[in-house]
Amino acid sequence: QVNLVESGGGLVLPGDSLRLSCTGSGRTFDSYAVGWFRQAPGKDREFVGRIAWGSDVKDYAESLKARFTISKDNAENTVYLKMNSLKPEDTAVYYCAAQLDARPNSAYTTTPSKYVYWGQGTQVTVSS
């Protein structure tokens, strides 16, 4: 069992930066990858990015890779999502999730249903 807790959301102005945290407990992430997703009202949950804990391999949604960066702190068992140049369309609930680190096909890393453990989400609102 992996328990995930997100933090760091809030209300920011367009152009601001924000860093979200996802801290795991219950077991280490050694065999897992941690993904970030977001869901805006009335929309499907959207893949943001992913980091493989053991190899440090990172994947990003193509539309976000220029502004968003994922990193991790092994000692803190925490994954971060740094978001720069935020736009109103980035407004959403942001979730972190964990899945076994594998790549059986291209959809595995980006499909929400392939992730086993989920955090409760943290709200990010970008508004002037």
Encode pLDDT of 73-120 as tens digits: 999 999 999 999 999 999 999 999 999 998 888 799 999 999 999 999
Q: Is the dihedral of CA 10, 74, 52, 66 positive or negative?
A: positive
Distance CA 1, CA 111 (A): 20
- The edge-to-edge listing of strands for the beta sheet with 3-7 is 3-7, 18-25, 78-83, 68-73
Name the 3-class secondary structure at 69: strand
pLDDT tens digits for range 2-46: 899 999 999 999 999 999 999 998 877 888 999 999 999 999 999
Distance CA 39, CA 75 (A): 29
Which CA distances in Å does 32 have to 26, 61, 109?
13, 19, 11
